[in-house]
Amino acid sequence: MPFVPHTEADVAAMLAEIGAPDISALFDEIPSHLANGSLRDVPAGRSEMAMLQMLAERADADAGYTCFMGAGSYDHHIPAAVWDITSRGEFMTAYTPYQAEASQGTLQLIYEYQSMMAVLTGMDVSNASVYDGASGLAEAMLMALRGNKKNKGGLVLVADSVHPNYTDTSRNIVRNQGIQIEALSLDASGIVNVHDLPQDLSPAAVVIQQPNFFGRLESVDVLTDWAHEQGALVIAVVNPMTLSVLKAPGDWGSEGVGADIVCGDGQPFGVPMASGGPSFGFTCCSQALVRQMPGRIIGQTEDLDGKVGYALTLQAREQHIRRGKATSNICTNQGLLVTAGTIYLSLVGPQGLREVALASHHGAMQLFDQLTQIPGVSAVFEGPHFHEFAVRLPVAAADVIDAMMDQGILPGLALSHFAAGHVSEAENTLLVAVTEKRTPAEIAHYVSALSDILKNSTQVAS
């Protein structure tokens, strides 16, 4: 936080000027039962040197691991040029482009970002992002409820294969808006059971994730057709990297009618994992819903001399209009991360994205095939995956993770807190992700290390 150079004498003089006895008197309108009397959980302060030493130690603790973690944040290669350019002062210090005449560079970059995201998702319009994929899903639900003219009910059906954090975040954000979230159940293969879809609920929106939280591929065409038959709008949650290979949400459905809203997290596009953030969310939609879009939409125009220019075309945020008329009061354009994502997309290009996705898929299938040959290790779900999959171990996944980390490997995410009720023996299941960065030697090391750990744990148990 910034250094505030007010001495005690300065503070006393200001309080005397306004007639307040002390600083706490400035907050006397807060009811006493809502005030926190003390900050018992806030630790004592540290010196700048001690703080830097502590953070350096924590940073060193993250170094040296081969990462097979995923679940929404992935260890993709980031070309050096991405952050060399993003870190330039013109981008690093740029703020919200309220004054178009002084912000043409930032506006053009966001326009290019929106254009690429619209093409990638197969949708008509993209906005200038939201905080992250989870809050993006909440915004998509609110969009759907405002935009579904046929069904004003507050029911949203969310597949049980959607990332649990996304569902929980959305529920926290929309629960006071009269929105009810109910689940679409899964079959034994870890995807929505298309043979047992409800026919009498009349949802306003249906949420489908592709690939889903477990890495499985949903029957998106069937689900899209069914949702539209129920009068619901379709919200697609996608990993944008996979769209270079998988069908774009704008083409989902037997007749290519497509999803109505697409959201997700842009982290795979040039944003480091960084212990979970920050990142940027994206939202795209059909033209019919454009005025329900949160955040901003940048448009291209011409000035009086015929020169190309850029402007904030739609900006229904609370800063610009009355709060009650705003489409969102929490969104942001996450400008710096969007800058990195735009530069990444520009450098890698369509063919590069496809090669990254295919290499990730190929590596995942190699690791999956080899892991399931280890005695006691089995697939949790049968059927196609993309670059992430769940395996069942003969021992607790948390114990395996600790042992694998001793070998310099982050082996995946233990599903005990994420898949209870959806996966049997959830405490023994591990969600593993593979990106294009993982070499054959690293995959072989993973298999060898896990095999030895399981063999030793079996011997100890016996």
294 shares its domain with 431 = no
329 shares its domain with 434 = no
The count of C-alpha atoms lying within 13 angstroms of the C-alpha of 82, restricted to the half-sphere facing its C-beta, is: 22
pLDDT at residue number 165: 95
Q: Is residue 48 part of a domain?
A: no
Asked whether the beta carbons of 359 and 436 are under 8 A apart, the reply is yes
What pTM did the predictor assign? 0.87
pLDDT at residue number 215: 97
Whole-number average pLDDT of the chain? 91
333 shares its domain with 235 = yes
Q: Is residue 6 part of a domain?
A: no
Asked whether the beta carbons of 285 and 292 are under 8 A apart, the reply is yes
Task: Give strand pairing partners of 234.
Answer: 206
| Count, residues in the chain | 462
Residue finishing a domain among 343, 363, 391: 343
The model's confidence at residue 60, banded by pLDDT at 50, 70 and 90, is: confident
**Beta-sheet pairing, 261-265 with 180-184:** unpaired
Asked whether the beta carbons of 423 and 390 are under 8 A apart, the reply is yes
Asked whether the beta carbons of 173 and 135 are under 8 A apart, the reply is yes
364 shares its domain with 337 = no
398 shares its domain with 283 = no
Look at residues 123, 117, 94, 103 and name the one whose alpha carbon lies nearest to residue 311. Answer: 103
Q: Is residue 5 part of a domain?
A: no
CA angle (283 as vertex; 210, 255 as ends), nearest 5: 55
Q: Is residue 37 part of a domain?
A: no
**Beta-carbon contacts of residue 414 (< 8 Å; ≥ 6 apart):** 397, 398, 401, 427, 429, 430, 431
pLDDT at residue number 420: 65
Q: Is residue 35 part of a domain?
A: no
pLDDT at residue number 318: 54
Q: What's the token pair of residue 402?
A: 């600790």
Percent of the chain at pLDDT exceeding 90: 70
Q: Report d(CA 326, CA 316) in Å as an integer.
A: 5
Least confident of 25-29, 32-36, 337-341, 375-379: 32-36
Residue finishing a domain among 302, 325, 343: 343
Q: Is residue 43 part of a domain?
A: no
Look at residues 255, 142, 264 and name the one whose alpha carbon lies nearest to residue 205. Answer: 142
339 shares its domain with 402 = no
Asked whether the beta carbons of 114 and 127 are under 8 A apart, the reply is yes
Which pLDDT tens digit goes with each residue over 381-423? 999 999 999 999 999 999 999 999 999 999 999 999 887 667 7
Q: Is residue 22 part of a domain?
A: no
Q: Report d(CA 97, CA 229) in Å as an integer.
A: 41
Number of domains present in the structure of the chain: 2
300 shares its domain with 315 = yes
Residue finishing a domain among 311, 343, 375: 343
Give the CATH number of the domain where residue 406 resides: 3.90.1150.10
pLDDT at residue number 191: 96
Mean pLDDT (whole number) for 344-352 = 97
pLDDT at residue number 419: 75
Mean pLDDT (whole number) for 259-287 = 94
For residues 460 and 308, which has the higher predicted lDDT (pLDDT)? 308
What letter does residue 217 receive in the DSSP assignment?
Answer: P
pLDDT at residue number 333: 63
94 shares its domain with 200 = yes
324 shares its domain with 355 = no
Look at residues 157, 139, 283 and name the one whose alpha carbon lies nearest to residue 231. Answer: 157
For residues 60 and 396, which has the higher predicted lDDT (pLDDT)? 396
Which pLDDT tens digit goes with each residue over 107-166? 999 999 999 999 999 999 999 878 899 999 999 999 999 999 888 889 999 999 999 999
Q: Report d(CA 228, CA 219) in Å as an integer.
A: 15
User: Going along 167-296, which residue ranges are E strands?
Assistant: 180-184, 205-210, 233-238, 261-265, 281-285
- pLDDT of residue 1 exceeding 70, the answer is no
331 shares its domain with 391 = no
Give the SS3 label for residue 197: coil
315 shares its domain with 237 = yes
**Residue 413: phi, psi to the nearest 5?**
-110, 125
Task: Give strand pairing partners of 157.
Answer: 182, 206
Mean pLDDT (whole number) for 34-43 = 80
Asked whether the beta carbons of 137 and 207 are under 8 A apart, the reply is yes
**Structural domain that includes position 176:** 80-343
- pLDDT of residue 59 exceeding 90, the answer is no
- pLDDT of residue 312 exceeding 90, the answer is no
Give the CATH number of the domain where residue 242 resides: 3.40.640.10
Which pLDDT tens digit goes with each residue over 161-203? 999 999 999 999 998 888 999 999 999 999 999 999 998 889 9
Percent of the chain at pLDDT exceeding 70: 95
Asked whether the beta carbons of 353 and 242 are under 8 A apart, the reply is no
Whether the CA torsion 210, 315, 174, 332 is positive or negative: it is: positive
Alpha-helix residue ranges (DSSP H) falling in 23-163: 48-62, 80-86, 89-92, 104-121, 133-147
222 shares its domain with 355 = no
Asked whether the beta carbons of 337 and 413 are under 8 A apart, the reply is no
Between the alpha carbon of residue 446 and those of residues 172, 213, 408, 409, the distances in Å are: 38, 22, 9, 7
Q: Is residue 26 part of a domain?
A: no
